Amino acid sequence: MKAQTAERKIPMLDLRLEYERMKEDVDRAIARCLEHQRWIFGPEVRELEEKVGVYLGAGHCVGASSGTEALVLALRSLAIKRGREYFDREDEIITTPFTFTATGDAILRSGATPVFMDIDPATYNIDTAKLKNYLESGPGRTVGLLPVHLYGCPCNMQEIMELARRFDLFVVEDVAQAFGGAFAGRKLGSIADAGAFSFFPSKNLGGFGDGGMLATDDAELAGIARMLIKHGGRDKYNVEHVGYNARLDTLQAAVVLSKLGHIDVLNGRRRAVAGIYSGTLAGMEEAITLPVSPPEGLHVYNQYTIRVRGVAPDGRKTGLRDGAREDLQGHLRRRGVDTMVYYPVPLHKMKLFYGRCVEPCRLDESEQAAKEVLSLPIEPFLPEQAVRHVAGLVREFFTSE
């Protein structure tokens, strides 16, 4: 493989690098599908479900058509298990607004009302202190929690699960960006009542299209989800619930299955790339904030996200002008480096959620993060020289300010 040079364009994600390293395994998996031609519920689907279950330490896994549908399946299954087709608008499910649209949208699609809790500015995950305060003083309509392991960084699942047990709440983990991550030695997605995963191509375990997975230790929950993915019934010609056409197709299962055995190596390489970034960018705290990994957490760095700080952690103005993030992004783009902003608009500011959500506290940290975050290129096989080049360009921007 030709080495990437500093002068060559550095995309946000170059999936060819990963494919070239796994080409033999991936091509063989696709060839098997071409031979058996079982494109719906083919053998690879069940094999992937079983192997992911073993990897996570989860009793049951159900393949889904996307990570979004995996979230919806988890929430709908929890409602049905309670004897209701959907939750009611009076039922509140707490998550954060600093996430992809699908997290909040899944709550609405389950019939419930999303309650947006602010984030910890260091991890970008739900602020458990604020969550605790709300549960202790709130109106008592909360039925569940939906923590998001954003960018691959684990939430504090110990505190979340303790609160869930104390207030008799279910917990669904949004693990779309964190396959293989862990907290206190347990794989993310296996700690709560259910975990929802995405196999979108840009994820750290990605297919060649949409795909997802629901994981749970609850056999009844898994059984309901299996009905919902095929229109809502064990017999598709005599269904029991309002369901979906939400199956994981055989081809995507085969591709993900071919990569599954490499996931720990891939995640290790992501951590190595993150380490190079962090080491090279150290000492720039006045201008940028680097990502952190909780002491008990195993971060998978689906994204390497810095903050171009307008306000320092202690509240002081940093001296950077408004729009410094956009200026840095433009500087990198002109030098051939792609970046992304995940996410420019917090959910409570989106048109979709107007009048459909609860904001029990100020969401200042989420709103500030949306103005400051910038994700740099990261993938398992990004050459070290490319990583150092990107970091050097970031330093160059602030040095020339």
- Which part of the chain is CATH 3.40.640.10? 17-260
Amino acid at 370: A
Pairing state between β 92-95 and 113-116: parallel
Mean predicted confidence (pLDDT) in 340-360: 97
pLDDT of residue 282: 95
Mean predicted confidence (pLDDT) in 10-26: 96
Mean predicted confidence (pLDDT) in 349-358: 97
Q: Which of 269, 169, 262, 173 is nearest to 216 (CA)?
A: 173
Distance CA(163)–CA(349), nearest Å, equals 27
Q: What is the DSSP letter of 185?
A: T
Distance CA(182)–CA(188), nearest Å, equals 5
Q: Just give the CATH number of 17-260.
A: 3.40.640.10
> Which segments of 316-363 does DSSP mark as H helices, in order?
324-334
Q: Convert the pLDDT of each residue in 20-73 to its tens digit.
A: 999 999 999 999 999 999 999 999 999 999 999 999 999 999 999 999 999 999
Q: Which of 194, 254, 250 is nearest to 224 (CA)?
A: 194
Pairing state between β 142-145 and 92-95: parallel
Decide which of 49 and 312 is more confident.
49
pLDDT of residue 322: 76
Mean predicted confidence (pLDDT) in 290-319: 82
H-helix or E-strand containing 222?
helix 219-228
Decide which of 286 and 170 is more confident.
170
Q: Convert the pLDDT of each residue in 135-146 to its tens digit.
A: 999 788 999 999
CA angle 329, 332, 334 (to 5 degrees): 110
Confidence class for position 317, pLDDT limits 50, 70, 90: low
What global pTM score does this model have? Answer: 0.95
Which residue in this structure is represented by tokens 């009793």? 59
Decide which of 1 and 110 is more confident.
110
- Which part of the chain is CATH 3.90.1150.10? 263-399
Share of the chain above pLDDT 90, in %: 92
Q: Just give the CATH number of 263-399.
A: 3.90.1150.10
Q: Is the pLDDT of residue 176 over 80?
A: yes
pLDDT of residue 286: 84
In whole angstroms, how far apart are CA 179 and each of 154, 182, 206, 226, 301? 10, 9, 10, 21, 10
